[in-house]
Amino acid sequence: MVVRESIAIPTAGVSLGADIVVPQPAHGVVLFAHGSGSSRHSPRNRYVAGELHSAELATVLVDLLTPEEEEIDALTGALRFDISLLATRLVGVADWLGQYKPVAKLGIGLFGASTGAAAALVAAAERPASVQAVVSRGGRPDLAGDFLRMVHQPTLLIVGEYDTTVIELNRQAMEKLPGETAFAIVAGASHLFEEPGALDQVARLARDWFARHLRSHPAASRA
């Protein structure tokens, strides 16, 4: 029986809306970090989440900003680049998942888009025991700064062929990542992967990466 919940997750002094889907069985859980000006309702991330469900992976789509903060960000665009804030909340949600019974024994993967990719990498650096893999879609890993050198988890960077500036930023970030890394350029795709078939490729790449690297968490299993 598939678990489907829309709940509020308390973390870092705020309450964040989240949609959780846990197929049965589930072999890992993927926490999504949305990008600039986006939310858990992003059709692109929901499409990727659906592909992950088919591989028996649970998903958590969460808003890293409160509704009030989203209103401020829509006007200023400032909070979406506050990587420290986003990462702190992402870490809090990851910790909460360790107590959420349907996925408590599962290893966590982080899927970050745009600025959310930087937050995902910072969170991976801060939670090396629970976070087992990272995927970045059209991300800005460079914004993770010095945390890049602390990310030892397998990391996949996906960029569209025509997103030339972001390609270069990802190449530079990849050189700083000490763990297993892979770099995938989706042919004929721009930053948002809106071209026919582009998002399909992203979803398959993410699915295969997480299916390969996520497993039950040993410490949680022993508990």
pLDDT at 43: 84
Backbone angles phi, psi at 156, to 5 degrees: -110, 125
- Dmax (CA) of the chain: 48
Q: Where are the beta strands (DSSP E) in the chain?
A: 3-11, 14-22, 29-33, 58-62, 108-113, 131-137, 155-160, 181-186
Mean pLDDT of the region 153-162 = 97
What's the number of domains the chain is made of?
Answer: 1
Q: What is the pLDDT of residues 67-100, one digit of tens each?
A: 888 887 787 777 878 899 999 999 999 999 999 9
Q: Report the DSSP beta bridge partners of residue 168.
A: none
Q: Name which of 20-34, 61-75, 164-178, 186-200 the model is least confident about.
A: 61-75
Structure confidence at residue 143 as a pLDDT band (50, 70, 90): very high
Question: Residue 19 CB: number of other CB atoms within 10 A?
Answer: 18
CA 203 to CA 173: how far, in whole Å? 22
> If you average pLDDT over every residue of the chain, what do you get?
91
Q: Name which of 65-74, 84-93, 132-141, 145-154 the model is least confident about.
A: 65-74
Amino acid in the structure at residue 127 = R
Host domain of residue 209: 3-222
pLDDT at 37: 59
Host H or E run for residue 164: helix 164-174
Host H or E run for residue 162: none
DSSP-based three-state secondary structure for 33 = strand
The domain that holds 11 is classified in CATH as 3.40.50.1820
